[in-house]
Chain A
Amino acid sequence: MKKNSRRQGKGSIKTFRFVLFIGTVATFAVILLIIILGDQQFGPVHKVILEGAGPLQKAVAQISGSVHSVKRKYIDLLTIREEKERLWKELQECRTTAYANRGAVALNARLRKLLDFKESSNQPTITAQIIGKDPSLWFRSVIIDRGGSDGVDKGMPVVTGEGIVGQVYASSSDYSKVLLAIAPSSAIDVLLQDSRIRGILKGTGKNMYLLEYILKTAEVFVGDRVVTAGYGGMFPTGLPVGIVSKVTRNRRGMFLEIEVVPAVDFRTLENLLVIEREKKMFD
């Protein structure tokens, strides 16, 4: 009896649930139909739903964006090593090119000066390159890649676009040794360009000359230009030698003590011009 009544109760609940489900579906279907077939107006209900779903959508969109960003970063991270290596290599190449370009520009400027000098002077010249430098602390000389077979001979003056460098001390068939004007054993006849006062320019072994045998009565000022005198025919007349940097008048002695800064920067010497002249008595 009890079993029968329980079975009847379960059946009525099932029926009720079925009817409720069908009714709900039918109601939604009717609402959907009304919405679709209606006047297509965005009504208050829609607005309420939009307002309610908006923050949710916004939050999800933000999360989604973050996830995408993390994913993108992760993928970037995977490829960043190769990218870094590629960029580093590119940077090195650029640096090498820039360095080479700077060197080429400097070389170009130096060669241009040499060329200008070569064209402006009416003397035949031989272009040479320094291949070795004197390592001692006592002497100052360089070895150049031109010798007797190129026309280079002992005693010939050596210059750059800026001024005098020295003279050929000895030469073999293909190479020569040049005694620099700053060598302690070097002595050149010079003139002060404006006052035409004559003196002897001595090397000191440093990047400086001493101008000797100029009487105290002479007017010499800092900034005066010193040029070759051309006496003896060793150097052509009027080649730039340097600029007076210090004048000292000592109480003792007849002569001024004059320091001259070389016109040529001996620290950056590379290319030189040997002026071809007739063999002079260098000895």
Chain B
Amino acid sequence: MLTLSFIAVGLLLVVIQTTFFMPSPLWIASPDLYYILVGYLAYNFTFLRGIVVLLPISMVLDIYSGTIIGIYPTLCYLGYFLLKFMVAKMPIRKSLYQLPLVALSYLVVNWVLLLILDFFQPQVIAGWEWFPILLRVFLIYLFSFPLFRFFTFIDKRLRGKTSSARLTRSLPGNQFRQD
């Protein structure tokens, strides 16, 4: 149920992003809402469940956007693995500091992917431009606060207990890794 619900939420976010947040085909100030979900899944879901949720969402993104099949699954999973790795290695367990990491990982993943595509298929994609990409990073950061709260709300409702994802509140006890 939780997996299906988050798949539905993810699909809804993709639809909102491709319609409401895209008033024209050249609009650059559209927040990549799906990537915020990638961040939430990396922080709060088990490894396998996160992968299962991301698969249909990234496939729908592939259909709605671009001309290279498989680019969105690559982007989503790269971001997901990177964030999972950072969560595992980060000294601070849960805090507000995790939200900027979502935006930062978006920048890193985009840069890596563009580098790969520029090497293999240079004529297919537009070149790197700092202003639009930084604007997207900022929008992800901006939208991650309300969306994380929204995801946490759904998570709580569906799990029927208090979620561990209380990112906007300070947690009691030692927040540093014990190992």
Q: Given A138-B114, A184-B124, do A133 and B22 touch, yes or no (CB 8 Å)?
A: yes
State the Cβ distance, B18 to closest chain A Cβ, in Å.
Answer: 4
B-side interface residues, number (CB < 8 Å):
30
Contact check, A267 vs B66: say whether CB atoms are below 8 A apart. Answer: no
Contact check, A139 vs B67: say whether CB atoms are below 8 A apart. Answer: yes
In B8-50, which residues have CB < 8 Å from any A CB? 15, 17-19, 21-22, 24-28, 30, 32
Q: Does A225 contact B (CB under 8 A)?
A: no
**Chain A 192-210 near chain B by CB (<8 Å), digits 1 or 0:** 0000000000001111000
Contact check, B67 vs A135: say whether CB atoms are below 8 A apart. Answer: no
Residue of A nearest to B18 (CB): A132
In A159-210, which residues have CB < 8 Å from any B CB? 169, 177, 179-180, 182-185, 204-207
Q: Given A184-B125, A184-B126, A204-B126, do A135 and B21 touch, yes or no (CB 8 Å)?
A: yes
From B18, B19, B27, B125, give the contact of A138 (CB < 8 A): B125
State the Cβ distance, B157 to closest chain A Cβ, in Å.
Answer: 28
Choose the segment among B77-85, B97-105, B129-137 that binds chain A (4+ C-beta atoms closer than 8 Å).
B129-137
In A18-46, which residues have CB < 8 Å from any B CB? none
Which chain A residues lie closer than 8 Å to B133 at the CB level?
137
Residue of B nearest to A205 (CB): B126
In A65-84, which residues have CB < 8 Å from any B CB? none
Contact check, A139 vs B66: say whether CB atoms are below 8 A apart. Answer: yes
Contact check, A132 vs B19: say whether CB atoms are below 8 A apart. Answer: yes
From B17, B25, B63, B136, give the contact of A140 (CB < 8 A): B25
- Size class of the contact patch on chain A: 20 to 34
Give complex CA distance A136, B129 in Å.
13
Residue of A nearest to B132 (CB): A137
Which chain A residues lie closer than 8 Å to B68 at the CB level?
139
**Chain A 123-156 near chain B by CB (<8 Å), digits 1 or 0:** 0000000111111111111110000000000000
Main secondary structure of the interface of B (DSSP, over half): loop
Give complex CA distance A200, B66 in Å.
22
Contact check, B66 vs A138: say whether CB atoms are below 8 A apart. Answer: yes
Residue of A nearest to B30 (CB): A135
From A142, A143, A179, give the contact of B67 (CB < 8 A): A179
Give complex CA distance A163, B24 in Å.
17
State the Cβ distance, A137 to closest chain B Cβ, in Å.
Answer: 5
Q: Does B64 contact A (CB under 8 A)?
A: yes
Which chain A residues lie closer than 8 Å to B19 at the CB level?
131-133
Q: Does B123 contact A (CB under 8 A)?
A: yes
Which chain B residues lie closer than 8 Å to A142 at the CB level?
25
Q: Given A133-B27, A185-B124, A266-B24, do A141 and B18 touch, yes or no (CB 8 Å)?
A: no
Give complex CA distance A268, B167 in Å.
40
Q: Does A269 contact B (CB under 8 A)?
A: yes
Contact check, A132 vs B64: say whether CB atoms are below 8 A apart. Answer: yes
Question: Among the interface residues A132, A136, A179, A185, which one has the most CB atoms of the partner chain B within 10 A?
Answer: A136
Which chain A residues lie closer than 8 Å to B163 at the CB level?
none
In B90-122, which residues have CB < 8 Å from any A CB? 114, 117
Residue of B nearest to A130 (CB): B25
Which chain B residues lie closer than 8 Å to A131 at the CB level?
19
- Chain B interface residues toward A at CB < 8 A: 15, 17-19, 21-22, 24-28, 30, 32, 63-68, 114, 117, 123-127, 129, 132-133, 136
* Given A136-B66, A138-B125, A179-B67: 5 more A-B contacts, CB < 8 Å: A130-B25, A169-B67, A185-B123, A207-B26, A269-B25
